Amino acid sequence: MNRIVTRWAESGREFDMEEIDQIRQTVEWLPGLSRTELAATLCEHLGWFTMAGTPKLTACGRLLERLERDGLVKLPRLQSQSPRPGSKRRAARKLPEIQAPSLSARLADVAPVSLEPVTATALVRQWNAAVERYHQLGYRSAFGYRLRYFIRCDSLYLGCVLLSGAAKAIAVRDRWIGWQRHERMANLSLVLNNSRFLIFPEVRIPHLASHVLGQLARRVQDDWQQHWGFRPLLLETFVDPRQYRGTCYRAAGWELLGETSGRGLARPGQAYASTPRLVFVKPLAGNFRQTMRNDFARTERVA
């Protein structure tokens, strides 16, 4: 007789069946990711980090393999690390960096400004390099759901935008939505985090940032549908009040909900301190709250 497992333990952490169900959904929703990318995504969603705040990739990988052996998930094939027989490894080609222009103008004089999704491998590398060079937080690999954009005006690159998975639990956001825990776990993928927003430092165009944010809100549902197969319902972002007031977000109609607590969990029972951030949100549909407060995302993707 098969033993029914209701709790799973790995590397000092126990997972109940609700969390195992969340893992199963994430694996099913992201069939194109490698095992490493899946593990990194799950660590972020589950808040599974080392004391230093880094994701527990090895432990998560072991848990996924156990779940696969028990028939609960189907993982992607292991990727071969060795070249095919007879093939020669090509030297990495150094790509030219994106040239950040020096430009002072009125918005009307440079229109139209557009958002260009970045998916080609060569452009992704250039986008990563530009954010690493010009954004104060640099670039950190985005796993799971993500979409990069270049901000363009004709042949000029004016900046970069990154959308990625939402923060797992933010008290002011979750109260504002009215989420119960199971609703948040089911529908968190419907929230996108604007985790990088960069206008190149020598680009001085009044109102450009709010103009770009307005474009983003109007097109992101269609873009996300095309790339990931479902439509998000809410954008969020976090602003460091020591440096910025979030003026461009306010001008683009984003709502300030309050601040983060300034405390995070590296693992259950172990907290770390951070600087409180302003929490801004932008709904993408009129009925977003009703949809996000049921188990809609557990059973089917958003059409």
- Note whether 176 and 27 are same-domain residues: no
Q: Is residue 214 part of a domain?
A: yes
- Least confident range from 3-12, 47-56, 83-92, 178-187: namely 83-92
Q: Is residue 227 part of a domain?
A: yes
- Note whether 149 and 269 are same-domain residues: yes
CA-CA distance, 251 to 203, in Å (whole number)?
19
- Note whether 28 and 108 are same-domain residues: no
Would you state the pLDDT for residue 22?
A: 82
Q: Is residue 234 part of a domain?
A: yes
Mean pLDDT of the chain: 83
Section 223-238 average pLDDT: 93
Q: Is residue 42 part of a domain?
A: yes
Q: Is residue 97 part of a domain?
A: no
Q: How many alpha carbons lie under 13 Å from residue 166 in its C-beta half-sphere?
A: 23
Q: What's the number of domains the chain is made of? A: 2
Domain residues for 63? 7-69
- Note whether 43 and 174 are same-domain residues: no
- Note whether 58 and 124 are same-domain residues: no
Q: What is the CATH number of the domain that holds 291?
A: 3.40.630.30
Q: Is residue 84 part of a domain?
A: no
Residue 198 has pLDDT above 90, yes or no: yes
User: Residue 146 forms beta bridges with which residues?
Assistant: 164
pLDDT in tens, 18-75: 888 888 888 887 777 788 888 888 887 787 877 556 778 888 999 999 999 988 888 8
Would you state the pLDDT for residue 95?
A: 55
CA-CA distance, 85 to 247, in Å (whole number)?
57
Q: Write out the DSSP string of 214-278.
A: HHHHHHHHHHHHHHHSS---EEEEEE-TTT---HHHHHTTPEEEEE--SEEEEETTEEEE----E
Q: Taking the complete model, does pTM exceed 0.85, yes or no?
A: no
- Note whether 191 and 131 are same-domain residues: yes
- Note whether 157 and 225 are same-domain residues: yes
pLDDT in tens, 131-154: 999 998 877 766 678 899 999 998
- Note whether 119 and 204 are same-domain residues: yes
Q: Is residue 79 part of a domain?
A: no
- Note whether 159 and 286 are same-domain residues: yes
- Note whether 59 and 111 are same-domain residues: no
Residue where one domain finishes, among candidates 69, 89, 121? 69
Would you state the pLDDT for residue 98?
A: 80
Q: Is residue 38 part of a domain?
A: yes
- Tell which wins on pLDDT, 177 or 187: 177
Residue where one domain finishes, among candidates 69, 94, 122? 69
- Note whether 151 and 271 are same-domain residues: yes
- Note whether 45 and 109 are same-domain residues: no
Q: How many alpha carbons lie under 13 Å from residue 268 in its C-beta half-sphere?
A: 6
Tokens of 95: 């790509």
